[in-house]
Amino acid sequence: MTNKRVRIGSRGSELALWQARWIQRALLEHHPGLEITIDIIKTKGDKILDSPLSRIGDKGLFTREIEQALLRGMIDVAVHSLKDLPTELPQGLTIGAICEREDVRDVFVPHSSNPIRTLSGQPRGATIATGSLRRRCQILHLRPDVAIVDIRGNLNTRIKKLGESRWQGMLLAKAGVLRLGWMHIIGETVGAETVLPAVGQGALGVEIRVGDGGTADLLAPLEHQPTRCATTAERSLLRTLEGGCQVPIGAYARIEGAGSASTLVMDAMVGSLDGRTIVRDRATGAPADAEAVGVRLAGVLLRKGADRILREIRDTETGAHESEG
């Protein structure tokens, strides 16, 4: 029996609510008359804004409280940026739909007083803001002369902080900027060949309870199989590497070609915190073998030196955490 009412759980930022409302509109388009409400749930990541994500070291920073509400039956679906969703879900939950992906790339957003619009064109010693170790690593690999500062908060907060700063600019995910209609702030779209995106970047994941067939049926028209295939490969790689927000890992999978000639292509990287060492490679395979492609590419990276990089990062984290305690 199909549900007549759906309660959506979402974070309260402008972007998170845009995503929840997009799912709401999409559901209503396919199921007119469905009653849909949106409940705002504050997560740990929304509450702790004075520490870098890498220092908090929690893979469920932006999802756990919403998932708990879902498990308790307080909501029926949880809408997430897929890049925030850990690769291991709590028992009893599953991803009911992965929607068509927005642009996966990052963008450089210059300070309003900075006439140089591109990341590569910034002067020596320029200060660039990012809250991502993945971006930090790849920027420093390309431009070891720049200074990287950490920035936290939702998109609105980050834009405000940039305006109040003396930084030359910052990097953001293009998907969020486009969804909020802020194309005018983009100085440059940074190609994936320059800075690989985060696993799942640009995609929305809709989480539901295992066994909730009614909600699964409602979500079925929102599923985008090519995006599911690509992000399955990326999440498989991340799971194999046991990475999280505290590890510089980037990946971009996509389907090239059509029909029986289609091929899944994935690029991925693991880098050191200072950007001096980056291990990068590519794997291809059949779209139906997405999970295996991710595992295989992770193995290639580990054999090429990613195992040493990851071990050094985790040893550094352990030491830092112990000294703080």
User: At a CB cut-off of 8 Å and minimum separation 6, what does 289 contact?
Assistant: 264
CA dist 317 and 296 (Å) reads 27
Pairing status of strand 93-98 against strand 249-256: unpaired
**Which residue is listed with tokens 């983009």?**
186
**Residue from 46, 50, 58, 84 carrying the catalytic annotation:** 84
Please, what is the end-to-end C-alpha distance for the chain in angstroms? 52
CA 196 to the chain's CA centroid? 11
The verdict on whether 84 is a catalytic residue reads yes
Q: Which of 59, 242, 247, 61 is nearest to 136 (CA)?
A: 247
Cβ–Cβ < 8 Å for 154, 100: no
CA dist 51 and 68 (Å) reads 24
CA dist 148 and 136 (Å) reads 7
Q: Which of 92, 96, 42 is nearest to 207 (CA)?
A: 96
Query: Residue 1 corresponds to which amino acid?
Result: M
Q: Which of 289, 248, 286 is nearest to 268 (CA)?
A: 248
CA dist 56 and 75 (Å) reads 27
Element (H, E) at 320: helix 307-324
Q: Which of 102, 34, 30, 55 is nearest to 244 (CA)?
A: 55
Positions marked catalytic: 84
